Structure 1
Amino acid sequence: MTSTKAELRRSLLAARRARSPEARRADAAALAAGLPALLEGVADPVCLFVAVGGEPGATPDGALPVLDAARAMGRRVLLPVTVGAAPLDWAPYDGPESLGAGPHGLREPMGPRLGPAVLADAGLVVVPALAVDHRGVRLGRGGGHYDRSLPLAGAQTRLVALVGDDGLLADDLPAEPHDVGVHAVWRPSSGVTWLSA
Structure 2
Amino acid sequence: MPGAIDHAKRALRADLRERRALLSDAQRAAAEAALTARLNDLVATTGARSVSCFLSTTTEPGTRTFIREAVARGIRVLLPITREDGLLDWAVAGDEDEITTGLHGLPEPTGEILNPMALDEVDLLLVPAAAVDRTGMRMGWGRGYFDRTLGSMQKCPPAYAVVFDSEILDEVPRDVHDQPVTGAVTPERTVVFPLT
The TM-score, its normalising length taken from structure 1, stands at 0.90
Give the structure 1 partner of residue 65 of structure 2.
65
Residues 46-90 of structure 1, C-alpha deviations (whole Å, 9 max, x = no match): 0000000210016xxxxx212112112210000000011331111
Q: Is 1:35–1:70's contact at 8 Å kept on the other side of the alignment?
A: no
TM-aligned CA distance change 1:53 to 1:36, over 3 Å: closer
SS of the counterpart of 1:185? strand
Q: Is 1:116–1:152's contact at 8 Å kept on the other side of the alignment?
A: no
Q: Is 1:184–1:194's contact at 8 Å kept on the other side of the alignment?
A: yes
Residues 69-121 of structure 1, C-alpha deviations (whole Å, 9 max, x = no match): 21122100000000113311111011353332322222212122221112222
Residues 134-193 of structure 1, C-alpha deviations (whole Å, 9 max, x = no match): 1111111111111121123353511100011101112x2222221221000000122x10
The TM-score, its normalising length taken from structure 2, stands at 0.90
Q: Distance in 2 between matches of 1:184 and 1:135?
A: 9
Identity value in percent: 35
Aligned 1:26-175 pairs, distance under 5 A = 26-40=30-44, 41-57=46-62, 64-155=64-155, 157-170=157-170, 172-175=171-174
Q: Distance in 1 between matches of 2:176 and 2:10?
A: 18
Give the structure 2 partner of residue 186 of structure 1.
185
Q: Is 2:38–2:186's contact at 8 Å kept on the other side of the alignment?
A: no
The CA RMSD over aligned residues, in Å, is: 1.6
* Unmatched segments (≥5 aa) in structure 1: 59-63
SS of the counterpart of 2:132? strand
* Unmatched segments (≥5 aa) in structure 2: none
Deviates more, 1:12-21 or 1:97-106: 97-106
Q: Distance in 2 between matches of 1:150 and 1:36?
A: 22
